[in-house]
Amino acid sequence: MKIKLEDWKEQYRDEAVECMSTDEMHALQSEKLVKQVKNVYENSPFYTKKFNEMGLRPEDIKSIDDITKLPFTTKEDLRENYPFGMLAVPVDKISRVQGTSGTTGKLTLASYTEKDIDVWGECVARGLTMAGLNSTDRLHVCYGYGLFTGGLGLDFGARKLGAMAIPMSAGNTQRQLMCMEDFGATAFACTPSYAMYLAEAATEAGVVDRLQIKAGINGAEPWTEEMRAKIEDMLHINSFDIYGLCEITGPGVAIDCIHHAGLHVNVDHFYPEVLDPVTHEPVLDGTVGELVFTTLSKEGMPLIRYRTKDLTSITHEKCKCGRTLPRISKFVGRTDDMKVIRGVNVFPTQVEAALLSLGEDVTPNYLLIVDRENNLDVLTVQVEVDEKYFSDEIKKLEELKNRVSNVLKDTLGVSAKVQLVGPKTIKRSEGKATRVIDNRKL
Ligand code: DLL
């Protein structure tokens, strides 16, 4: 059942921190940063070397305002020091590793101590509380369990909250729906693309009204407000955007509240900066740049100014929910998701927003295919449309195709070939969706 904004009752997991004054948070972050910098200098050979090369001493960092004096850390650093070269504790203090598969073969591996897992669970529990859950709830987790942080991360959060975790992992949609109904799940967690898939399957099976789901905890991939509205409408729920990355912690770095005006970052543990991707200078609030994190509490694999490659903007204004935790906007995408088509930057999320602005006629199932023909980039957008368009009325299909072409041209600033395809033509994803196939030889 979807709860209307006017009927929403805000609840906090840790009000003292979530609604802390700016000055108090500044003091807390400063104290933690000073300690963390000393810790990494003394205990992580990677940072000892980096600081020494720059001539930087831990005493140079006196408050959080000095953060820009610190060096960046990149995914390449993690790769070069794979698997355990970034630790600040002996490897036998590590109680868990989690990872994510890169495109280049080796995993990005992250290591956590028991305390790191505890903080992680607490951050997810904050998010679940923000989404209206409490200890009486039953969270159906269909993120994958394994090295990917999605399944276990949500599980840790549910455990902290004292709620019931239903560890379904990904796959077997019919069984997911059966268990959701039988176990009386009140919330579910998965990627937005899989939430859409479940919504379609539940609608088709006529079980939506038999489910007791009130909230979706959806994230792990870029998605739009339009997609959220679609999922909420189809399943009659409130859906919340959760963000994280295994290097920093898994899900729970940030989550949005009922006002959906950006994702609240747990800045007492993860200090965010938004930087110009080229100059690496901080950008103003509201301006899109690359998100960079410093882990203030991490023991196992603390990271200083880690460049996430995720593009977003930040605001430090207090939210209507009462929280002062800064908010990052819904993600545009990653710097490496961006496709340059005939000189124009294109993100899949722009295509998603444009398509869904057309209302009921098109679905959020789409795929971008990029080719090079006669030395020119050609973008093809495949999108599923309702079956009715494939009846005898060819004119209707042509009309819709023109509307899709026009909205894409207006939004992207570059023309795209449009292929309208029938329902279920585009491969569904049980985890993170593949939205782009780039056939160009780089
Ligand atoms: O995707 C952690 C996670 C699991 C988050 C479940 C939310 C829910 P990784 O596999 O390390 O970790 O991938 C991290 O995924 O740098 C972003 O590019 C992307 N990402 C994660 N959450 C969001 C989101 C998990 N809410 C990478 N919106 C990140 C947009 C997201 N992108």
Measured by CA distance, the residue closest to atom 28 of ligand 1 is: 222
Is the CB of 155 within 6 Å of ligand 1?
no
pLDDT of 384 reads 95
Spatial distance between the Cα atoms of 15 and 152, rounded to a whole number of angstroms: 25
Measured by CA distance, the residue closest to atom 22 of ligand 1 is: 220
Decide: helix, strand or coil at residue 270: strand
Measured by CA distance, the residue closest to atom 12 of ligand 1 is: 245
Decide: helix, strand or coil at residue 431: coil
Q: What is the DSSP letter of 254?
A: E
pLDDT of 120 reads 98
CB atoms within 10 A of CB 74: 15
pLDDT of 104 reads 57
The best mutation among 227, 243, 260, 429 to test binding of ligand 1, ranked by most ligand atoms within 8 Å of the C-beta, falls on 243
Q: What six digits make up the tokens of 397? A: 């299909």
244 CA distance to ligand 1 middle (Å):
5
The best mutation among 266, 310, 432 to test binding of ligand 1, ranked by most ligand atoms within 8 Å of the C-beta, falls on 310
The best mutation among 78, 242, 245, 301 to test binding of ligand 1, ranked by most ligand atoms within 8 Å of the C-beta, falls on 245
Q: Which atom of ligand 1 is nearest to the CA of 148?
A: 10
pTM given for the model:
0.96
pLDDT of 395 reads 80
The single-letter code of the amino acid at 435 is R
Is the CB of 252 within 6 Å of ligand 1?
no
The single-letter code of the amino acid at 306 is Y
141 CA distance to ligand 1 middle (Å):
16
Contact 218, 241 (CB under 8 A): yes
Q: What six digits make up the tokens of 287? A: 């301006």
In sequence order, which residues have a C-beta less than 8 Å from that of residue 247 and are 6 or more positions away?
A: 75, 78, 108, 110, 301, 303, 306, 308
243 CA distance to ligand 1 middle (Å):
5
Q: What is the DSSP letter of 74?
A: -
Asked if residue 83 has a cis previous peptide bond (ω within 30° of 0), the answer is: yes
Is the CB of 333 within 6 Å of ligand 1?
no
Is the CB of 348 within 6 Å of ligand 1?
no
- Pairing verdict, β 187-190 and 215-219: parallel
Is the CB of 113 within 6 Å of ligand 1?
no
Spatial distance between the Cα atoms of 83 and 98, rounded to a whole number of angstroms: 11
Is the CB of 99 within 6 Å of ligand 1?
no
Decide: helix, strand or coil at residue 21: coil
Residue with tokens 């000189």: 343
Is the CB of 51 within 6 Å of ligand 1?
no
pLDDT of 103 reads 54
Is the CB of 328 within 6 Å of ligand 1?
no
Measured by CA distance, the residue closest to atom 15 of ligand 1 is: 220
7 CA distance to ligand 1 middle (Å):
30
What are the structural domains, with CATH classification, of the chain?
A: 5-22+111-333 (3.40.50.12780), 339-441 (3.30.300.30)
Q: Which atom of ligand 1 is nearest to the CA of 99?
A: 11
115 CA distance to ligand 1 middle (Å):
22
Residue with tokens 């959906």: 260
Q: Which atom of ligand 1 is nearest to the CA of 432?
A: 1
In sequence order, which residues have a C-beta less than 8 Å from that of residue 431 and are 6 or more positions away?
A: 143, 144, 148, 150, 170, 191, 194, 220
Spatial distance between the Cα atoms of 271 and 293, rounded to a whole number of angstroms: 5
Q: What is the DSSP letter of 9?
A: -
pLDDT of 391 reads 80
Is the CB of 132 within 6 Å of ligand 1?
no
- CA atoms lying within 13 Å on the CB side of residue 221: 23
114 CA distance to ligand 1 middle (Å):
22
Decide: helix, strand or coil at residue 400: helix
- Cα-to-chain-centroid distance, residue 185: 23
Q: Which atom of ligand 1 is nearest to the CA of 250?
A: 2
DSSP 151-166: HHHHHHHHHHHTPEEE
Mean pLDDT by 10 residues, the chain (442 residues): 95 98 98 98 98 98 98 96 97 97 77 98 98 98 96 98 97 97 98 96 97 98 96 98 97 98 98 96 98 98 97 98 98 90 94 92 93 94 92 83 96 96 92 93 67
Decide: helix, strand or coil at residue 104: coil
The best mutation among 98, 149, 156, 190 to test binding of ligand 1, ranked by most ligand atoms within 8 Å of the C-beta, falls on 149
Contact 142, 190 (CB under 8 A): yes
Contact 273, 305 (CB under 8 A): yes
CB atoms within 10 A of CB 111: 24
Spatial distance between the Cα atoms of 95 and 113, rounded to a whole number of angstroms: 5
Q: What six digits make up the tokens of 288? A: 């899109």
Q: Which atom of ligand 1 is nearest to the CA of 337?
A: 18
Is the CB of 242 within 6 Å of ligand 1?
yes
